Amino acid sequence: MKITFCCANTESGPWLQGLAAALPGADVSLWQPGAPQADYAVVWEPPQRFMDEQPGLEVLFNIGAGVDALLPLRLPRAARVVRLDDAGMAVQMAEYVCHAVIRHFRALDACAADTRAGRWDCHGPRQRSDFPVGVMGLGVLGARVAQALAHFEFPVNGWSLSPKALAGVRSFSGAGALDAFLACSRVLVNLLPLTPATQAILHRGTLSRLLPGAYVINAARGAHLVDEDLLALIDSGHVAGATLDVFRTEPLPADHAFRTHPAITATPHIAARTLREESIAQIARKIAALQRGESVAGMLDPAQGY
* Ordered DSSP codes for 24-46: TT-EEEE--TTPPP-SEEEEES-
Which one of 261, 269, 273, 276 is the catalytic residue? 269
In the Cβ-directed half-sphere of 254, how many Cα atoms lie within 13 Å?
0
Which one of 221, 256, 261, 276 is the catalytic residue? 221
Catalytic, 221? Answer: yes
Give the CA dihedral 15, 18, 23, 26, nearest 10 degrees.
Answer: 50
Q: What are phi and psi of 160, to 5 degrees?
A: -150, 165
In this structure, are residues 5 and 16 in contact, taking their beta carbons and an 8 Å threshold?
A: yes
**Residue 93: what residue type?**
M
Nearest residue to 154 (alpha-carbon basis) of 209, 217, 234, 201: 217
Catalytic, 49? Answer: no
In this structure, are residues 267 and 242 in contact, taking their beta carbons and an 8 Å threshold?
A: no
Q: For residues 252 and 43, what is the distance between their CA atoms, to the nearest angstrom?
A: 24
What is the DSSP pairing of strand 40-44 with strand 80-83? unpaired
List the catalytic residues: 221, 269
